[in-house]
């Protein structure tokens, strides 16, 4: 099953016939494999680890797949397709990456949902491309084309990261945020409520959905001896967390995981401000699965603490998994759920 943007790309496959193709920010479907008959080769970069896992099921000798914020090399391509990101702020980074990987006069194709901000593509492309032209409009999506006209330089991470000082209960720290990663440059209310109500932690601790690393930094600031592991599904979030840890002189294991699938072993504590957005939609599926999987990853007596919007229906899941619901703190917007594995 192809997503709507992928279907629009496939129906315009004549544009990439016999070309060396790069797909940036690929979605969770079979498009990479489906385009192989039309192309000389297909290379794809997924910024979402789940999307990468889905694409890997269809690996081929002429299909190169990568997960991360950038490709492992500096190869050039005849055509680059950018799937317009759900986080609009990420678009200029993807366009800069596309420009770097395009051969001279190479073609850029940009595809995305009408409601996802793609109509502003002409304001986001930068100076390396010609004015974008709308090629197609179907399945609530738009397809644009532009040509590389500039001498592109390799994107610098420094040009796409914001650094700011954050006041935590344990002191001031520096947070590094890559474009497209959630941040309002202050401690959000949910995370603040969680951090204010955490007991003393020790041993091996997991920060699930680490984002830019705010919780991780706070935990290490309070107890530098923690054996901390940070997971997220988003490549830009993982890079942000790594940069934040480095900026504060801290160490932790940071890696991609689809839920807890790539996590190994058991933990003395699991902490999270779990994500509840998947693309443009709000969903509790990710967090509900996380609750169910958490208990199997906690040591006996291990602590489990999450914060969630109070309107989200976690209580039934928490009760079913842990046997009871323990709300250790709440305000008019958030609840902190705290349980022990018994």
Look up residue 20 and give its two tokens: 């060396």
Strands (E), the chain: 20-24, 41-46, 63-67, 77-83, 102-113, 133-138, 141-147, 161-168, 171-178, 204-208, 227-232, 253-256, 267-272, 277-278, 281-282, 298-309, 327-330, 334-340
Q: Helices 214-222 and 235-247: crossing angle, nearest 10°?
A: 30
Over residues 149-156, the mean pLDDT reads: 92
Instruction: Decide which of 182 and 249 is more confident.
Output: 249
Query: Of 58-67, 71-80, 307-316, which has the strongest mean pLDDT?
Result: 71-80
Confidence class for position 226, pLDDT limits 50, 70, 90: very high
Q: Over the stretch 29-42, which tens digit does the pLDDT of each residue have?
A: 999 999 999 999 99
State residue 283's pLDDT score. 52
Distance of CA 152 to the CA centre of its chain: 26
Q: Which of 102-116, 237-251, 262-276, 282-296 has the lowest mean pLDDT?
A: 282-296
Q: Over the stretch 294-308, which tens digit does the pLDDT of each residue have?
A: 999 999 999 999 999
Over residues 251-255, the mean pLDDT reads: 98
Over residues 141-150, the mean pLDDT reads: 96
**Over 80: is that where the pLDDT of 28 sits?**
yes
Delimiting residues of CATH 3.40.50.150 domain(s) in the chain: 4-155, 158-340
Determine how many CB atoms are found less than 10 A away from the CB of residue 123: 10
Instruction: Decide which of 213 and 1 is more confident.
Output: 213
Among 117, 64, 83, smallest CA distance to 7 is for: 83
Q: Over the stretch 72-82, which tens digit does the pLDDT of each residue have?
A: 999 999 999 99
Confidence class for position 314, pLDDT limits 50, 70, 90: confident
Q: What is the rounded CA–CA span in Å between residue 274 and residue 290? A: 8
Confidence class for position 131, pLDDT limits 50, 70, 90: very high
Confidence class for position 279, pLDDT limits 50, 70, 90: very low
Distance of CA 197 to the CA centre of its chain: 27
**Over 50: is that where the pLDDT of 281 sits?**
no
Fold designation for 158-340 = Rossmann fold (3.40.50)
Q: What is the mean pLDDT of the chain?
A: 92
**Over 90: is that where the pLDDT of 113 sits?**
yes
Over residues 67-93, the mean pLDDT reads: 96
**Over 90: is that where the pLDDT of 287 sits?**
no
Fold designation for 4-155 = Rossmann fold (3.40.50)
**Over 80: is that where the pLDDT of 284 sits?**
no
Q: What is the rounded CA–CA span in Å between residue 212 and residue 175? A: 7
State residue 266's pLDDT score. 97
State residue 43's pLDDT score. 96
Q: Cβ(34)–Cβ(14) under 8 Å?
A: no
Over residues 98-126, the mean pLDDT reads: 95
């Amino acid at each position: 099953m192809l997503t709507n943007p992928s279907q629009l790309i496939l129906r315009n496959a004549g544009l990439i016939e016999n070309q060396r193709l790069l797909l940036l920010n690929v979605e969770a479907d079979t498009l990479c494999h489906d385009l192989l008959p039309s192309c000389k080769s297909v290379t794809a970069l997924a910024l979402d680890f789940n999307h990468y896992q889905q694409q890997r099921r269809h690996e081929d000798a002429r299909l190169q797949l990568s997960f991360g914020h950038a490709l492992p090399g500096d190869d050039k391509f005849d055509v680059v397709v950018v799937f317009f990101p759900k986080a609009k702020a990420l678009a200029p980074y993807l366009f800069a990456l596309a420009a770097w990987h395009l051969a001279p006069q190479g073609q850029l194709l940009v595809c995305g949902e009408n409601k996802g901000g793609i109509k502003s593509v002409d304001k986001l492309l930068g100076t390396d491309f010609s004015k974008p032209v709308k090629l197609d409009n179907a399945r609530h999506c738009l397809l644009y084309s532009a040509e590389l006209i500039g001498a592109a330089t390799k994107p610098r991470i420094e040009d796409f990261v914001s650094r700011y000082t954050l006041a935590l209960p344990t002191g001031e720290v520096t947070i590094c945020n890559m474009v497209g990663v959630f941040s309002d440059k202050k401690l959000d209310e949910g995370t603040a409520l969680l951090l204010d109500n955490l007991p003393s932690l020790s041993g091996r601790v997991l920060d699930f959905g680490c984002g830019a690393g705010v919780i991780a930094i706070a935990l290490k600031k309070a107890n530098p001896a923690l054996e901390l592991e940070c997971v997220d599904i988003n490549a830009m979030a993982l890079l942000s967390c790594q940069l934040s840890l480095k900026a504060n002189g801290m160490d932790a294991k940071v890696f991609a995981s689809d839920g807890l699938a790539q996590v190994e072993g058991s933990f003395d504590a699991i902490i999270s401000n779990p994500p509840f957005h998947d693309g443009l939609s709000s969903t509790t599926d990710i967090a509900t699965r996380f609750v169910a999987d958490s208990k199997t990853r906690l040591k006996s007596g291990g602590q489990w603490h999450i914060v969630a919007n109070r309107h989200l229906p976690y209580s039934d899941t928490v009760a079913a998994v842990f046997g009871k619901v323990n709300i250790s703190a709440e305000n008019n917007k958030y609840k902190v759920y705290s349980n022990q594995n018994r």
